[in-house]
Amino acid sequence: MSNPIIEFKNVSKIYADGKDAALSDINFTVDQGEFACLIGPSGGGKTTILKIIAGLEKATTGEVKKPAIIAMTFQGGALFPWLNVYENASFGLNARNRLLNGEEKYSEHKIKTETLNYVKMMGLEDFINKYPAELSGGQRQRVGIARALAVDPQVLLLDEPFSALDAKTTAELHDDLIKIWRTTEKTIVIVSHLIEEAVSLAERVILIKDRKVANIFKIELPYPRREQGLTYHQDVMKIRREFFK
């Protein structure tokens, strides 16, 4: 039995200053614990879908089911340049504390152990005192993911996290992300414009074209996907045909 944690029913979005709809009649679900990927050409509405899941934008029409605690990383990383790795990674937890009172608040100790746990999980323990300008692009993305995971979200949203990275760094981050998904059992929704990335990572690939869901592909290959040879390339080709149609 599937157990959707996210559900879009006939969702449309028209931005206040937008001429055309950014999303038109979008329907899809993401199951609890699933790794899903939204893929499609630029301008198709992928970021808008993530923002609606994150509660940063509202659907104009339609119904959206989503959990309460969600964390999102943004295109380009969006770290605070004046904060070091530790301070960036603990930012969400400290912000959460400012909103809560009494026993709901985390202790200093809890914030520290939670932050260090995810900093270590992302392989950043040797860099905790470094500032974003002193890090590589891959390390900056790792900090963004640690910051998002630290608030223990029910859903982790990643908007084109690896698009500015070289192929080797991207492959390493893909492997680490799969490990994190397995360890934490989080629901993950990633946005990508690369078909190979989608097939390397996701159990379900949702193709967004012209503001609509063009197709949904189930990928059933074992991980690591890149090493699956012919079957991997067959799945890539299947999506490519629809992507460029």
Which residues of the chain form contacts with Mg ion (CB under 5 A)? 47
Kindly report the number of other CB atoms within 10 A of residue 212's CB atom: 17
Number of residues this chain uses to bind ligand ADP (CB under 6 A): 12
CB 75 to Mg ion: min, Å: 6
By the rule CB under 6 A, 48 interacts with ligand ADP? yes
CA atoms of 19 and 22, how far apart (whole Å): 9
For 62, list phi and psi in degrees, rounded to 5: 100, 180
104 makes contact, choosing from ligand ADP, Mg ion, none, with CB < 5 to 8 Å by partner type, with none
DSSP for 166-228, written as a single string: -HHHHHHHHHHHHHHHHHH--EEEEEES-HHHHHHH-SEEEEEETTEEEEEEE--PPSSGGGG
DSSP 7: E
CA distances from 201 to 42, 49, 155, 224, 236 (A): 20, 19, 16, 9, 12
Residues 114, 105 contacting (CB under 8 angstroms): no
Which one of 22, 72, 79, 205 is in contact with ligand ADP (CB under 6 A)?
A: 22
44 makes contact, choosing from ligand ADP, Mg ion, none, with CB < 5 to 8 Å by partner type, with ligand ADP
Q: Where does this chain touch ligand ADP (CB under 6 A) — which range of 10-18, 128-136, 137-145, 171-179?
A: 10-18
By the rule CB under 6 A, 161 interacts with ligand ADP? no
Name the residue nearer to ligand ADP (CB basis): 57 or 175. Answer: 57
Which one of 46, 140, 142, 204 is in contact with ligand ADP (CB under 6 A)?
A: 46
CA neighbor of 207 nearest in space, from 195, 198, 216:
216
Which one of 43, 55, 67, 224 is in contact with ligand ADP (CB under 6 A)?
A: 43
Q: Where does this chain touch ligand ADP (CB under 6 A) — which range of 37-45, 109-117, 123-131, 195-203?
A: 37-45
By the rule CB under 6 A, 58 interacts with ligand ADP? no
Paired strand residues for 217 = 205
By the rule CB under 6 A, 201 interacts with ligand ADP? no
Task: Please report, as ranges, the residues that interact with ligand ADP according to CB under 6 A.
Answer: 15, 17-18, 22, 40, 42-48
